[in-house]
Amino acid sequence: MSFGRTLKRRVRDALAPLGFAALCGYFAYHAVHGDFGLDARERRLVDIAQARQILARATADREALERRVDGMRGAQLDRDQLDERARTLLNMVGRDELVIPYEPGRRLY
């Protein structure tokens, strides 16, 4: 047998395993670095944690606002809160009160 035939036979015999190894390498790479791989999963977990923190802050803000609104409703009207809000909206003060102006960026509410 000649050297050329032996070489062709060995290349042909090695072609299938090399193709399979390349295919496995392709899928292994994309399992780690692809759009749905392990790296993307870690990024999504970080995004989810940040979104949960934002949700917790928004929920706390909403609950605080709901408590303020509940104080100005019907039967359980909180007179102090109503008085404070009316004075703020009407820009009025009592005769014995002291007014302390705040800078625009340092308002209380």
pLDDT truncated to tens, each residue of the chain (109 aa)? Answer: 688 888 889 889 899 999 999 999 999 999 999 888 999 999 999 999 999 999 999 999 999 988 878 776 767 777 777 787 778 788 777 788 777 777 777 766 5
Q: Are 29 and 69 members of one domain?
A: no
Rounded CA gap, 31 and 38, in Å?
7
Find where tokens 């749905």 sit.
Answer: 36
Q: Are 41 and 69 members of one domain?
A: yes
| C-alpha dist (Å) from residue 76 to 22, 60, 63, 66 | 73, 22, 17, 14
pLDDT reported for residue 81: 75
Q: Can you give the pTM of this predicted structure?
A: 0.53
Domain of residue 4, residue span: 1-33
32 contacts: CB under 8 Å, gap ≥ 6: 38, 39
pLDDT reported for residue 108: 65
Q: Are 43 and 63 members of one domain?
A: yes
Distance linking the first and last C-alpha atoms of the chain: 94
For residue 56 the two structure tokens come to 């917790």
Name the percent of the chain in helix, strand, coil, to the closest 5. Answer: 70, 0, 30
pLDDT reported for residue 58: 97
pLDDT reported for residue 107: 67
Q: Are 27 and 14 members of one domain?
A: yes
Q: Are 69 and 47 members of one domain?
A: yes
Q: Are 28 and 40 members of one domain?
A: no
